[in-house]
A = this chain, B = another copy of it.
Amino acid sequence: MVEKYDTVVIGAGPAGTAAASSLKAQGQKVAIVEEDLWGGTCPNRGCDPKKILYAAVEAKEKADLLAGQGLNTQNSINWADLMANKRDYTKQISPGTHDSLANNGIETINGHAHFVDPHTLKVGQQTIEAQNVIIATGLRPRILDIKGKEFLQTSTDFLDLDEMPESITILGGGYVAFELAGIASSAGAKVTLIHHNNRPLKAFPENLVQTLCDQLSKNGVETVLDKEITEVQEDNASYRVIGNDFDKKTDKVFAAVGRIANVDQLGLDQIGVDYSSKGVKVNEHLQSDVSHIYAVGDSAASPVLKLTPVAGYEANYVVGQILGDHAEIEYPYIPTIIFSLPKLAQVGVTVNRAQEDTERYEVKTVPMEDWITYKRQHEKQPLVQLVIDQKNDQVVGAACLSMEADEMINYLTLLIKHGYSAEDVSQTPFAYPTIASDIQYLY
């Protein structure tokens, strides 16, 4: 018997589970299909486990900054304990997510879904029909196509490492590469980060990235730029990473060279839905080429960053569309944060964009080391940049490099969103002295 649903969601990550739960709560008959871990990348092998590992990094580095400044301190990361701790958290995610969906009356189906026709999917032997389909299948790490690629590990492996080796090499220059480098170096590994061109983290302001590399280097991270790696060789229990004029021995090699959408095995070709490695092509309603098939989150080629909060936002938007709304999607300001050493974050109009249009935008760079928050914790070179639209003197973008950049960028997101002026900021009595109350020095 073919079971019929109002909506079938493919992929049970943050986007898929949010959409399925909302539609169910609105009275729809909903099924959700997952072929891997319920809960998806973010809680199983992404943001959450990374942030659990990073908790020890943060505590250690903040204590270390105060050595000789009021703290007698001796800290080292105990990787085995930290990993046990992380696993305690992640082990309950998949069953917990599954049970929560099932308990809410959503049909949960394990397996790989593919389209038979635009309204029909097969999952193993099971055939299901849907009035609407939401594709929320996420991304997977891209494999670098070089000789010895079978020796490369990914961020998924890193976040589940039994032991932190003495030395690791990370190929890549994106946010994952910089986050792994921060965690590994704080945990005591000698880290080499190799990027194929001279502009890692290219979406971020060049001077902040340069300062981040300098800071990481003091923590034992060597950054090698403009270096194409062509081969990885096994060498006893370790590896050799080889490129032109380059040959380095290392205990483990991780590739963090981007991610590709899990949409190539869904049978989209035969139903006329266009897609690429960036995801399903969608319009301003997040509809694919077939109007009742939507894509959300990491697997949609929407013109925004692939982040968990975006996944939730898009899921919520598509729920509205399915239930009868017709407005085009409009994205809010979305902050991004790299949990490296220190943290690097930005929101709104980027410094890079501003530098392309200096008639319109002014960039203001402010060192923060004399601000009470950073002075008290003896942070080195905390920096913030504002992008000011000279048409109306409004702050429309910001970037920040510091151990407090996560919360700083959240405040700036709210202030930019609400169009705060310098006067408004000075008239907003935040608790003093805090990261938020510092912001008055900025405007």
* Interface of A toward B, CB cutoff 8 Å: 42, 47-48, 51-56, 58-60, 62-63, 65-66, 68-79, 81-83, 85, 89, 307-310, 312-313, 316, 332-337, 345, 372, 375-377, 406-407, 409-411, 413-414, 417-418, 426-437
In the complex, what distance in Å separates the CA atom of A345 from the CA atom of B434?
A: 12
For the complex, what is the distance from the CA of A54 to the CA of B335, rounded to whole Å? Answer: 29
Q: Which residues does chain B contribute within 8 Å of A42, judged by CB atoms?
A: 432
| A334-B426 in contact given A55-B377, A60-B63, A85-B69 (Cβ < 8 Å) | no
CB neighbours (8 Å) of A426 from chain B are: 312, 316
Partner of A51, one of B47, B309, B376: B376
Determine the chain B residues whose CB is within 8 A of the CB of A413 once the complex forms. 428-431
Which one of A76, A79, A81, A332 has the highest number of Cβ atoms from chain B below 10 Å of its Cβ?
A81
CB A283 to nearest CB in B, in angstroms, measures: 21
Q: Which residues of B contact A68 (CB under 8 A)?
A: 81
User: Which residue of chain B has its CB nearest to the CB of A373?
Assistant: B51
13 A–B contact pairs at CB < 8 A? A48-B433, A59-B59, A59-B62, A68-B81, A69-B85, A70-B78, A71-B77, A309-B430, A313-B429, A406-B435, A409-B431, A411-B411, A418-B418
Query: Given A68-B81, A75-B71, are A59 and B377 also a contact pair (CB < 8 Å)?
Result: yes
The answer on a CB contact under 8 Å between A75 and B73 is yes
A59 pairs with B66, CB closer than 8 A: yes
**Interface pair A74/B74, CB less than 8 Å apart:** yes
Cα(A414)–Cα(B435), bound, Å: 14
CA distance A262 to B220 in the complex (A): 54
A310 cross-chain contacts in B, Cβ below 8 A: 429
A334 smallest CB distance to B (angstroms): 5
Q: Which residues of B contact A72 (CB under 8 A)?
A: 75-78
Nearest neighbor of A76 in chain B, beta-carbon distance = B72
Additional A-B contact list (16), CB under 8 Å, known A62-B62, A413-B428, A414-B428: A59-B66, A59-B71, A59-B377, A62-B63, A63-B63, A72-B75, A74-B75, A75-B75, A89-B375, A309-B432, A313-B427, A334-B429, A337-B431, A407-B407, A407-B435, A410-B434
- Least distance between A64 CB and chain B CB atoms (Å): 9
The interface centre, meaning the residue of A71, A74, A77, A310 with most chain B CB atoms within 10 A of its CB, is A71
Asked if A77 and B70 make an inter-chain contact with CB atoms under 8 angstroms apart, the answer reads: yes
Whether A436 touches B418, Cβ cut-off 8 Å, given contacts A55-B377, A69-B85, is no
Report how many copies the assembly holds: 2
B55–A82 CB distance below 8 A? no
Among the listed B58, B78, B435, B437, which residue makes an inter-chain contact with A309, where contact means beta carbons less than 8 Å apart?
B437
Whether the Cβ atoms of A55 and B376 lie closer than 8 Å is: yes
Residue picked from A62, A69, A427, most chain B C-beta under 10 Å:
A69
Assess whether B429 is in contact with A335, with CB atoms less than 8 Å apart.
yes
- Beta-carbon contact of B73 and A74 below 8 Å: yes
Considering the complex of A and B, which 6 residue pairs feature the smallest CB-CB distances, nearest first?
A70-B82, A309-B429, A410-B436, A56-B70, A55-B376, A337-B431
Partner of A55, one of B70, B313, B432, B436: B70
A248 CB to nearest chain B CB (Å): 29
In the bound complex, how far is the Cα of B428 from the Cα of A411, in angstroms? Answer: 12
Task: Give every chain B residue within 8 A of A59 (Cβ-Cβ).
Answer: 59, 62-63, 65-66, 71, 73, 377
Q: Which of B56, B414, B432 contacts A307 (CB 8 A)?
A: B432
Residues of B within 8 Å of A432, CB to CB, are 42, 47, 307-309
Q: In the complex, which residue of chain B has the Cβ closest to the Cβ of A48?
A: B372
- Chain B residues lying within 8 Å of A52, measured Cβ to Cβ, are 372, 375-376
Closest residue on chain B to residue A78 by CB atoms: B72
| Residues from chain B with Cβ under 8 Å of A332 in the complex | 427-429
CB distance from A246 to the nearest CB of B (A): 34
- Report Cα–Cα, A81/B70, bound state, in Å: 5
> In whole angstroms, what is the CA distance A26 to B406 when docked?
37
Contacts of A312 in B (CB 8 A): 426, 429
Closest residue of B by beta carbon distance from A345: B431
Q: Which residues of B contact A60 (CB under 8 A)?
A: 63, 71
Q: Which residues of the partner chain B approach A308 to less than 8 Å between Cβ atoms? A: 432-433
